[in-house]
Amino acid sequence: MIGVFDSGLGGLTILKAFLRALPDYGYLYLGDNARTPYGNKSQEVIHEYTRQAVEFLFARGAVLIILACNTASAKALRRIQQQWLPAHHPTERVLGVVIPLAEAAVEATRYGWVGIIGTRATIASGVYDQELNKLRTGLKIFGQACPLLVPLVEEGWVGKPETNRILKKYLRPLKNSKIDTLVLGCTHYPFLRKDIERIMGKNCRVLDPPGIVAEKLTDYLRRHPEIEARLAKDGRRRYLTTDDPERFRDLGEPFLGQRIREVERVVLG
C-alpha cells in the first residue's frame, strides 16, 4: 500500500494525480487536519508530527509513504530518512515532493531565474534553494512566503476578488524579478494555478506539482522493483483524518475531484 500524508487537505491534489497515473495500487491517505497548518510551527514540532504520521501509516500497512506536504518534506524528511527510518523501518521508504519539483524547475527554466512560493516554514528552510543549487549552479532563486493562501483555499475562496488581491500582492516581487519559472511549493496552490498564471503572464511557466510528483513516483517504482513488488494492487482507497470526518469529506472532495465515501478519524501521538 502507498501512504500519502499531508498536514491537511492539499495532499489530495497529489493523490488525485496518483490515482490517474497509477490507478491499480492501494492508497492510504492521512490528513492531520486537527493540527494544520504546519507552516507556522517550529522545525522540531513539524518533525515530531510528521514522524507520528509516518509511524501510524506504516502500522496500517503502508510500504512506501509520500510526504505530500511541502512543509513536512522541507523540515522533517531528511531527518526521518537518515536517522529514524534505518532504526525503525529499514525496509520501508519515505519520499517527499521537494526534489521532484526542483528537478522539474531546472528542466523548465530558460534563463535560470526561478521563483518559489510556499508556507513560511518551507521558504525559511531554504530547502528549494539547496536542492536547486545541487542540480545547477548559477541559478537566480527568489522565494516568497504566502501564509494566507492555505486557509483561503481550504475555506473555498479560490477565484474571489479578495483572494486575487492577496495573490497579486504576494506575486508582485516575483513578477518584478522577471522569473521565467515558478514552483508552487505547497499542495494547496494548484487550486490557484490559473489565477497565478494569469497574474504572472506568458513569460513565466508555472509548474504543475501533482503531475510532476506522479510522474516521478511512476519512475521511482520502475527503478525500484523490490519496493513495487510489495505494494498491494487492489485499487483500495482509504482516508484518515485527525479531525472531523464529515468536514474532511465535504472539503476534501473538491481537492480529490471525486466522491470520498468513508473517512476514519484517528489520533496521532
Query: In a 3-state reduction of DSSP, which class is residue 223?
Result: helix
Query: Where residue 184 falls among pLDDT bands split at 50, 70, 90?
Result: very high
All domains in the chain, ordered by first residue? 2-96+211-265 (3.40.50.1860), 98-209 (3.40.50.1860)
Average pLDDT over residues 151-169: 92
pLDDT tens readout for residues 127-147: 999 999 999 999 999 999 999
Q: Is the pLDDT of residue 155 over 90?
A: no
Q: Say whether pLDDT at 156 is over 90.
A: no
Question: With left for phi above 0 and alpha for psi between -120 and 50, is residue 201 left, alpha or beta?
Answer: left
- Band of residue 168 on the pLDDT scale cut at 50, 70, 90: very high
What's the mean pLDDT in 50-60?
A: 98
- Whether 146 is a known active-site residue: answer no
Q: What is the mean pLDDT of residues 174-192?
A: 95
For residue 37, is pLDDT > 90?
A: no
Average pLDDT over residues 18-39: 94
Q: Report whether 20 contacts 162 (CB < 8 A).
A: no
Instruction: Please tell me the pTM assigned to this model.
Output: 0.92
Burial of 124 (0-12, 13-18, 19+ CB in 10 A): middle
- The pLDDT of residue 38 is 87
Please say if the pLDDT value at position 23 is more than 90.
Answer: yes
pLDDT of residue 39 exceeding 90, the answer is no
Does residue 8 contact residue 37 with C-beta atoms inside 8 Å? yes
The number of beta carbons lying within 10 Å of the beta carbon of residue 2 is 22
* Catalytic status, residue 204: no
More confident residue, 156 or 246: 246
Residue 194's pLDDT is what? 95
Backbone angles phi, psi at 66, to 5 degrees: -105, 120
Q: What is the average pLDDT score of the chain?
A: 95
Please check the confidence at residue 247 and state whether its pLDDT lies above 90: yes
**Which candidate in 9, 65, 146, 186 is catalytic?**
186
Out of 4, 62, 69, 182, the active site residue is 69
Q: With bands split at pLDDT 50, 70 and 90, how would you rate the model's confidence at 60? A: very high
Encode pLDDT of 83-102 as tens digits. 999 999 999 999 999 999 99
Give the pLDDT score at 65.
Answer: 98
55-59, 85-89, 186-190, 209-213 — which is least confidently predicted?
A: 186-190
